[in-house]
Copies of this chain bind each other. A is one copy, B any other.
């Protein structure tokens, strides 16, 4: 029970994409270099975000990734589910039906109480994540780091793109 490490990278990358204009795509190569991450694996995470419709891709020179919609329209839950999957964490294999006390399937109309309890907790978790928008993440980031950091980051990307 642990989130994949790529999830952290994906969220940070989305936060970076939210800083730059939508028509200013960032290639995976630069994102990886910015955070000092293995580039091909980060690209795989971005690919998942692309499949989920969170980011748009643009191929060829001056291409890269850009947010598919405004940062206010992207929730943390959407990013997490894009990377780690949207299926339930707790799977109920209905083992209560096995064993000497199991009865016919038609008697089990509702999921078992254990699964319901686990799923209720998951619902609370999802609700919290769905309440956080990417724009909120960005605002938190601005509060905790010097203000000129964002401008410095954008300048770094622009310099890298023009030089190449």
Q: How far is the CA of A120 from the CA of B129 in the complex (A)?
A: 9
Contacts of A137 in B (CB 8 A): 113-114, 117
New A-B contacts (10) at CB < 8 Å, excluding given A5-B93, A122-B125: A8-B95, A8-B114, A34-B98, A35-B95, A100-B156, A101-B153, A112-B141, A112-B144, A118-B129, A121-B125
Does A62 touch B at the CB level, under 8 Å? no
Do residues A92 and B8 form an inter-chain contact, with CB atoms below 8 A?
Answer: yes
Q: How many copies does the complex hold?
A: 2
Cβ B85 vs Cβ A1 within 8 A: yes
Tell which of B90, B103, B113, B144 touches A141, judged by Cβ atoms closer than 8 Å. B113
Interface residues on chain A, size class: 35 or more
Is B1 touching A114 in the complex (CB atoms < 8 A)? no
Assess whether B2 is in contact with A3, with CB atoms less than 8 Å apart.
Answer: no
Contact A3 B91 (CB under 8 A): yes
Q: Hey, which chain B residues are within 8 Å of A35, CB to CB?
A: 95, 98-99
Q: Tell me whether A144 and B1 are in contact (CB under 8 A).
A: no
Closest chain B residue to A117, Cβ basis: B132
Report which of B15, B126, B152 forms a contact with A114, defined as CB distance below 8 A. Answer: B15
Inter-subunit contact A100/B153 (CB<8 Å):
yes
A149 within 8 A of B: yes
* Distance, CA A120 to CA B7, complexed state (A): 16
**Docked complex Cα distance between A41 and B15 (Å):** 42
Contacts A1-B1, A100-B34 given; indicate if A124 touches B128 (C-beta within 8 A): yes
